[in-house]
């Protein structure tokens, strides 16, 4: 049985159908990349998995447990499934360390000391120890996004969802963020990432899903999707990306 | 025709080129304005001196003040002398055909002329105001600013003013809490929160519509009439505090609501995604940021509230305004009311400055290159 199983989910905003009978599965320690044109449902899928959006039909199972539908404690679900956003969404009125320790203290009921020790340790690991007392708005986008990842990691999540985390960054800052993701992948963190960094997706993922029109249009190992896509839309999408020199 | 085009290109010259002329017209306009206003100032100072001498002020003091003011009033001549020098410079530069120097001098002369005119206009407004005070044998000054009466009744007015201060301080504390409670009710989540949301919105709509003076009147005279136990025994100022809390609380709830909504939804999403509950994300993430946005409008509401304490007069509480009206009736002179106005000014301005300073420091802390 796969670690994450998404069964036939649908989601629409009024008349606009965003996710349409989407099914996929993720094994533990796998890194799955979601690629596809904007509006194909990548972000919405991630937000549904974190309970930030509700789904209309279908269900999502994690480790055999249903995490969607009525009766699910979303607050405890979110302790185990972390998400990092495209626009970092750090709390601007708090220092970096306070950003990282807020949830461990308030949600996991850790003592301030334990949380801060762990927070400092994580910041050190990702080269941000000297920024602990800094405010987010005084840092570069790359640094802010690394802090956002650390903030999600401080909750010790079982799954990490990364929603186009490099899209808002200047090109020269992208690699410092991707290095962290690569490191997490090597450690065996289960991750789902929506991304436009095709080269990175090819290198880091165990599986690539091409989303189109709100469902998985084609999936497979990265060599196959990028090297020998089987279906038309995937080919068209990838050739456009190639024309734009983004691979 | 290519050659024709070339001539056309060559024929064009920069429009700003050429020898400027001295700004004679502007200079004379400025000079006349300044002269007239200085003359008006001296006339006013002389009238004021006569008026002050007839009151019991010492002669030498009046003379010294008048001389000082007379000197101050001719300070606007200073830019005119500079303008004159520059005007001469323009003429000299034109004579030796130095266009650049002439341009520089001309712009300096114009600047100084305009500065003189600007300051003269301000002085003119002050002179007009003084003339109004002196009008009709200083009737205006005596009616509003009769110093002996103001000094004599100051302790009485100040004493009554403490009641205003007490009312608004207590009301402000209540308003802060009550407004927040109502605002949070307006954001009560889910289907369960719907009735609360409706009631809170209805309350805000109703109390923002009713004039504060009506609420004070209704509560202050109405509650004692109802004879409801416990609250009927409250003092009159307490009723006023209640009335003001309900009225201003509606405004402040709206301010809180706008502040909470001004925080981008992605902040709430980030907080909730970390497992924080609705209340936790409000308390630790949304409200601390909203507070920074709402401080300026909150201060406005508070200053309005402070001024509204003068409305307690309608239920017969002896506050500063009521006290000063009694004095005004007794002496047939409004100067004590002016004292109240001054007291309100004195408490209001420092608050504005203090909050401005606080906001600046906060911005500097959170952002590089603060605005």
From the CB of residue B261, how many other CB atoms can be counted at a distance below 10 Å? 14
Domain boundaries, chain B: 2-143, 150-366
Scanning A107-158, the segments in alpha helix (DSSP H) are 112-125, 141-153
Could you tell me if A66 and A60 are in contact, meaning their C-beta atoms sit under 8 angstroms apart? Answer: yes
What whole-number distance in Å separates Cα of residue B233 and Cα of residue B220? Answer: 12
- Cβ distance of B273 and A75 shorter than 8 Å: no
Q: Give the integer Cα–Cα distance in Å for A172 and B289.
A: 31
pTM exceeds 0.80 for this model: no
CATH of the domain at A179: 3.40.50.300
- Which DSSP category does A136 fall into? G
Q: Which letter, b or e, does each residue of B27-65 get, where b requires 16 or more Cβ atoms within 10 Å of its Cβ?
A: beebbebbeebbebbbebbeebbebbeeeeeeeeebeee
Judge: B366–A92 Cβ closer than 8 Å, yes or no: yes
Helix/strand/coil for A86: coil
Measured distance CA(A150)–CA(A140) in Å, rounded: 15
Is B271's Cβ below 8 Å from some Cβ in A? yes
**Contact across the interface for A78 and B274, Cβ inside 8 Å:** yes
Q: Which of A87, A89, A105, A165 to mutate to test the interface with B (most CBs of B within 10 A)?
A: A89
User: Residue A88: left if φ>0, alpha if ψ -120 to 50, beta else—which one?
Assistant: left
| Residue A82 contacts B where some CB pair is shorter than 8 Å | yes
Domain B150-366 has CATH 3.40.50.300: no
For residue A88, what is the nearest residue in chain B, using CA coordinates? B270
Q: What pLDDT, on the 0 to 100 scale, is given for residue B161?
A: 94
A159 touches chain B (CB under 8 A): no
Rounded distance, CA A204 to CA A226, Å?
Answer: 13
Note whether B274 contacts A89, CB cutoff 8 Å: no
SS3 category, B141 = helix
CA distance A55 to A72: 13
pLDDT of B140 reads 83
Contacts of B368 in chain A (CB under 8 A): 137-138
CA-nearest residue to A139 within chain B is B368
Say yes or no for a CB contact (<8 Å) between B285 and A152.
no
Rounded distance between C-alpha atoms, residue A111 and residue A156, angstroms: 16
Q: How many CA atoms lie within 13 A of B246 on its CB side?
A: 21
Instruction: Count Cβ neighbours within 10 Å for each residue of B169-179 and write b for 16 or more, e otherwise.
Output: ebbbebbbebb
Nearest-5° Cα angle at B229, B224 to B230:
90
Alpha-carbon gap, residue A192 to A44, rounded angstroms: 13
Give the minimum alpha-carbon distance from B276 to chain A in angstroms, rounded to a whole number: 6
State whether A155 and B274 contact (CB < 8 Å). yes
* Of A79, A89, A102, Cβ closest to residue B267: A89
Which of A99, A103, A165 would you mutate first to test chain B, the one with the most B CBs within 10 A? A103
Please give the residue range of the domain that contains residue A182: 4-243
Q: Which residues of chain B make contact with A93, given a CB cutoff of 8 A?
A: 288-289, 292, 366
Residue of chain B whose alpha carbon sits nearest to that of A100:
B274
ipTM for the assembly: 0.90
- As a 3-state breakdown, chain B gives helix, strand, coil percent values, each rounded to 5, of 85, 0, 15
Number of domains observed in the structure of chain A: 1
Which stretches of chain B drop beneath a pLDDT of 70?
A: 1-10, 17, 56, 367-371
Could you say which residues from 189 to 208 on chain A have a Cβ atom under 8 Å away from some Cβ of chain B? none
Q: Which of A52, A78, A137 sits opposite B367 (nearest CB)?
A: A137
Contact criterion met (CB < 8 Å) for A107 and B276: yes
> What does the pLDDT read at residue B354?
86
How far away is chain B from the Cα of A177, in angstroms, using its nearest Cα? Answer: 19
> Which A residues in the span 87-106 are in contact with B, Cβ-Cβ below 8 Å?
87, 89-93, 102-103, 106
Residuewise pLDDT in 10s, chain A (247 residues) = 789 999 999 999 989 999 999 999 999 999 999 999 988 999 999 999 998 998 999 999 998 889 888 888 888 889 899 999 999 999 999 999 999 999 999 999 999 999 999 999 999 999 999 999 999 998 999 999 999 999 999 999 999 999 999 988 888 888 889 999 999 999 999 999 999 889 889 988 999 999 998 999 999 999 999 999 999 999 999 999 888 876 6
Give B193 to chain A, closest Cα distance, Å.
18
A107 and B CB contact within 8 Å: yes
CA distance, residue B272 to nearest chain A CA (Å)? 7
Cβ contacts of B277 on chain A, cutoff 8 Å? 75
The pLDDT tens digits for B221-231 are 888 888 888 88
Instruction: Name the strands in the sheet holding A31-35, side by side, starting at the edge strand that comes first in the sequence.
Output: A81-84, A159-163, A190-194, A31-35, A207-212, A215-220
Cβ–Cβ below 8 Å for A102 and B284: yes
What is the token pair recorded at B236? Answer: 């009159």
């Amino acid at each position: 049985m796969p670690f994450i199983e998404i069964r036939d989910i649908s989601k629409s905003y009024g008349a606009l159908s965003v996710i349409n009978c989407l099914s996929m599965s993720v094994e533990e320690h796998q890194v799955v990349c979601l690629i596809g044109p904007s509006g194909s449902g990548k972000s919405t899928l991630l937000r549904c998995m974190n309970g930030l959006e509700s789904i209309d039909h279908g269900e999502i199972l994690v480790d055999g447990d249903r995490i969607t539908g009525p009766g699910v404690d979303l607050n405890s679900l979110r302790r185990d499934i972390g998400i990092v956003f495209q626009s970092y969404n750090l709390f601007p009125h708090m220092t970096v360390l306070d950003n990282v320790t807020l949830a461990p203290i308030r949600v996991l009921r850790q003592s301030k000391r334990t949380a801060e020790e762990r927070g400092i340790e994580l910041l050190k690991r990702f080269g941000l120890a000297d920024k602990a007392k800094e405010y987010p708005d005084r840092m570069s986008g790359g640094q802010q996004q690394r802090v956002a990842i650390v903030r999600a990691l401080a909750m010790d999540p079982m799954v990490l969802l990364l929603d186009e985390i490099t899209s808002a960054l200047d090109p020269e800052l992208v690699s410092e963020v991707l290095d962290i993701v690569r490191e997490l992948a090597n450690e065996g963190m289960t991750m789902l990432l929506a991304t436009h960094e095709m080269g990175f997706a090819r290198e880091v993922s165990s599986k690539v899903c091409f989303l189109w029109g709100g469902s998985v249009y084609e999936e497979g190992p990265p060599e196959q999707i990028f090297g020998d896509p089987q279906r038309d839309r995937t080919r068209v999408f990838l050739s456009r990306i190639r024309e734009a020199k983004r691979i | 025709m290519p050659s024709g085009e070339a001539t056309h290109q060559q024929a064009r010259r920069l429009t700003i080129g050429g020898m400027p002329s001295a700004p004679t017209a502007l200079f004379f306009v400025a000079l006349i304005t300044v002269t007239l206003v200085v003359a008006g100032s001296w006339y006013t100072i002389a009238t004021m001196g006569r008026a002050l001498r007839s009151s019991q002020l010492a002669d030498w003091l009046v003379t010294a003040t008048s001389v000082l003011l007379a000197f101050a009033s001719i300070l606007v001549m200073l830019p005119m002398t500079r303008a004159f020098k520059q005007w001469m410079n323009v003429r000299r530069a034109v004579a030796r055909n130095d266009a650049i120097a002439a341009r520089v001098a001309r712009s300096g002369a114009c600047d100084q002329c305009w500065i003189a005119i600007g300051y003269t206009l301000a002085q003119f407004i002050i002179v007009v105001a003084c003339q109004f005070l002196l009008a009709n044998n200083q009737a205006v000054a005596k009616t509003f600013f009769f110093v002996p009466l103001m000094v004599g009744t100051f302790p009485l007015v100040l004493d009554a003013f403490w009641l205003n201060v007490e009312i608004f301080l207590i009301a402000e504390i209540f308003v802060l809490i009550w407004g927040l409670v109502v605002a949070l009710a307006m954001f009560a989540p889910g289907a369960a929160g719907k009735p609360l949301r409706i009631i809170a919105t209805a309350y805000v709509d109703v109390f923002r519509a009713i004039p504060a003076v009506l609420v004070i009147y209704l509560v202050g005279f109405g509650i004692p009439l109802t004879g409801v136990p416990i609250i009927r025994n409250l003092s009159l100022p307490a009723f006023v505090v209640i009335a003001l809390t309900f009225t201003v609380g509606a405004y402040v709830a709206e301010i809180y609501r706008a502040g909470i909504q001004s925080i981008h939804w992605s902040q709430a999403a980030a907080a909730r995604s970390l497992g924080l509950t609705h209340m936790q994300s409000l308390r630790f993430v949304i409200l601390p940021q909203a507070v920074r946005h709402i401080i300026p409008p909150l201060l406005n509401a508070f200053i309005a509230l402070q001024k509204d304490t003068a409305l307690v007069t309608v239920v017969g509480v002896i506050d500063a305004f009521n006290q000063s009206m009694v004095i005004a009736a007794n002496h047939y002179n409004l100067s004590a009311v002016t004292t109240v106005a001054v007291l309100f000014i004195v408490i209001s301005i420092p608050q504005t400055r203090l909050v401005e300073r606080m906001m600046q420091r906060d911005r500097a802390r959170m952002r590089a290159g603060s605005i």
